[in-house]
Structure 1
Amino acid sequence: MPKALVLSGHDLRAWREEYAAGAAPAELPYEVDALRSAGLDLTVRSNSHRPSVTRLRAKVEHRTKYGVALPLAAAPSVLRHDVVIALLEREGALPAILRGRSLPPYSRRPLVIYSWRLAYDVLHASAAERRKLVDRYSSADLITHMSSRESDILMEAGFAPEQLFGATFGVSHNYYVPGPEAQRDIDLLAVGQDHGRDYATLFAAIEGTDNRLDLVCRPENLADLRVPPNVRVHGTVPHATYRHLLRRAKVVAVPTDVRSYPTGSSVVLEAASSGCCVVATDTPAMADYIADGRTGVLVPPHDAVSWRETLLRLSADDGIRRRLGEGARRSVEETFNAVHMWTEIAGEMRRRGLV
């Protein structure tokens, strides 16, 4: 059985405690433990989170802008494995740099980077910074990403097509599960904390209607916005609370700007997995995950009138909501789940001879 060394910047002890308490969706971050069912033996290394070590690491990595301590600490075990998998670009940068300079041990093993926002960083970087990013990661054997639009951005920046693999993003369908239909007492729920959220359009759509919105976000997401009286702001909530809110929601709204990365994808798929009726902004990334009219509803960007009409129609029709929620759940069970995603990535690694 091929052996994979996984580099994760998470505090694994805290993560596993949360998982045991039902507050994390899987045993390991990003459900990478699903690789075991795809035939890989995993060793996971993470950063030390002792306060003194954390302070020193923060100072060093503030200068480099990428992970240093973890790849160096894991170096002695690299040659005991067949492949190195870095969870996110930050932990994959130093191994890629060392590979590019033919420096062992990372130069002697294939490197896979599970990327989340590399395309976004490339797109918004200056020309000089973009060249640095391409040079930094150009020695990785495989860089995964989560939407078709990202492939174009990365290749335009100078990444080789053979480096890239657009994986089918998936969430934990065994953790996010539908609740009893009778307990769906939240008419409309919106969740999201990144800068890609478009709450201004959503507020304009529901203001003056009977739709009551429960909103989970950071205060920064609402800066310069007037919150309508029919919006109840929860702030940020623990993961277990978020999961419970999804099980109670009739409709989950994910209004976003058009971004290069798939902003909103996690909430869309976690809501779909929970059997919710999902409404999202029609962006190139979101169209990868929602089949309009079958597994959810897509609304044109920044179109408050269309949002209002869609939400009013769904609030008045239990049958449509139920049909879309059931279709959404099936789509996650069949395709958009973490086991499918990591099995797909493992298959690509085998096809390329990396394991």
Structure 2
Amino acid sequence: MSSAPRSEAALAWGFPAEQSVSAWELRHSVGDVPSAWQYGLDGLRRFARVEVIDLPAPGRLSRLRARTGLGPRPVDGMAFTWDENAAFRMQVTRPRRRFASGVIWLTDMVQRGHVPTRLIDVLRGAEDLWVLSRGQVDPLRDLVGGNGPRVTAVPFGIDADFFAARPFPDRPRILSIGNDRDRDPQTLFRAFELVHAQRPEVELIVQTSASGAPDGVRVVDRMSHRELRELYATASVVATATRPNLHVSGMTVTLEALATGRPVVNTDTPGMTQYVAEGETGHLVPVGDAEALADRLVELVDDRDRAERMGVAGRAAVEATFTTAHMCAHLAAILLPEH
């Protein structure tokens, strides 16, 4: 992808300093990670010049000064952040007069009874907010109010060159990847226990920090992106079980699996239907329903041809809609509407 922008427009990207964009670039240069920047945001350089701003973690004093209006003066120019926590950092430590941000966890936090009023106040000062799940749009609009920033659903994208289509394996293997706060290892383990009882020849692999994996399930440690890419290639289906959530937990794994050409079986949560076409690229099952999850997994390992066809459809869906290039085009329309 060319880094030459289409216009002279400029953007500032605020990102946590400790996550180091420059270090990620070095890892990308040797093929260890997808995309030149985290989340594929280097794709925005097709549309504008992008300056990276390292955001330090705000201390107690800097938070207090910002709250009382004694913090740094806001800087002109449009800035954006990937998520709401980075937006808070930026507006406390390096504030901008104009900014936009993604929002990931806030709607679930509020739904579960935790209302971070200071964070919400900061987000109300944004020009635009985007979410990666349609299920978050209305709840976020309610939080920021009718006179608040615009809220837009943007489809997430992954690096479909790094996670390339791979030949379908001969040996049946079911894979599950992920440790985020909304995963449901109990339902996953119960489903895998049922699969093992019915199809003991199927290999079951889980990457998780949760304990309690049943007999017949191999648990693997945290892996690099390169190692994960190779593991996807060995799977015949990828499963993700989650608790109720609005932000589409498991979305990244889902798209990486589809890009590899593997069907998925996921928990049906708001927003997941954006990423999984029922019966075409995978299956969606009710929250907490281990039996339904197991049944769908068994169906796919029993019908290799159908699983392979669904994997091909999944790869096509990623190429058509869910690449980092598509995502950055949507973000550019938000951040650079005049261009």
TM-score between both structures, scaled by the size of structure 1: 0.82
The answer for the alignment partner of 1:93 in structure 2 is 88
CA gap 1:278/1:61 in 2 versus in 1, 3 angstroms: farther
| Separation of aligned partners in 2, 1:90 and 1:143 | 13
- Report SS of the residue matched to 2:206: strand
Residue in structure 1 matched with residue 20 of structure 2 by the alignment? 11
Question: What are the equivalent positions in structure 2 for 1:23-34 lying under 5 Å apart?
Answer: 23-34=32-43
Contact 2:14/2:90 (8 A) holds in 1:
no
Structure 1 residue 141 displacement after superposition: 0.6
Instruction: Please point out which of 324, 333, 336 is paired with 1:347.
Output: 333
**Aligned with 2:236: secondary structure?**
strand
Mind listing any 5+ residue stretches in structure 2 that lack a counterpart? Answer: 1-7
CA contact (8 A) 2:58 2:92 kept: no
Within a 5 Å distance, the mapping from 1:51-200 to structure 2 comes to: 60=59, 64=63, 78-79=75-76, 82-96=77-91, 106-107=96-97, 110-126=98-114, 129-160=115-146, 162-182=149-169, 185=171, 187-200=173-186
State the identity as a percent: 26
Matching of residues 292-331 of structure 1 within 5 Å: 292-331=278-317
Amino acid at match of 1:86: T
Contiguous gaps of at least 5 residues in structure 1: 48-56, 99-103
2: CA distance between counterparts of 1:4 and 1:333?
Answer: 27
Residue 58 to residue 111, structure 1, CA distance change in 2 (3 Å): closer
Q: 1:97 to 1:177 in 2, by over 3 A?
A: same
> What amino acid sits opposite 2:14 in the alignment?
L
> Is 1:41 equivalent to 2:49 in the alignment?
yes
Distance 2:88 2:279 in 1: 41
**RMSD value, Cα:** 2.8
Flag the structure with higher helix content.
1
| 1:140-289 equivalent positions in 2, closer than 5 A | 140-160=126-146, 162-182=149-169, 185=171, 187-207=173-193, 208-209=197-198, 210=200, 211-218=202-209, 221-222=210-211, 225=212, 227-289=213-275
- Aligned partners of 1:137, 1:181: CA distance in 2, in Å? 45
For 2:254 and 2:60, the matched residues in 1 are separated by 32
Native 8 Å contact 1:269 1:336 kept in 2: yes
Aligned equivalents of 2:126, 2:109: Cα separation in 1? 17
Deviates more, 1:161-170 or 1:276-285: 161-170
- Is 1:2 the counterpart of 2:1 in the alignment? no
After superposition, the Cα gap between the structure-2 partners of 1:314 and 1:89, relative to the gap in structure 1 and judged at 3 Å, is: same
* Residue in 1 that maps onto 2:3: none
Cα offset, 1:202, TM superposition? 2.2
The number of residues matched between the two structures is 320
User: 1:97 offset after TM fit, Å?
Assistant: 6.3
Q: Distance in 2 between matches of 1:342 and 1:152?
A: 23
Aligned equivalent of 1:51? none
CA contact (8 A) 1:280 1:299 kept: yes
Deviations 1:308-354 (A, max 9, x none): 22111111111111111011111110001111111012113343x5x
Where 1:33 maps in the other structure, the secondary structure is helix
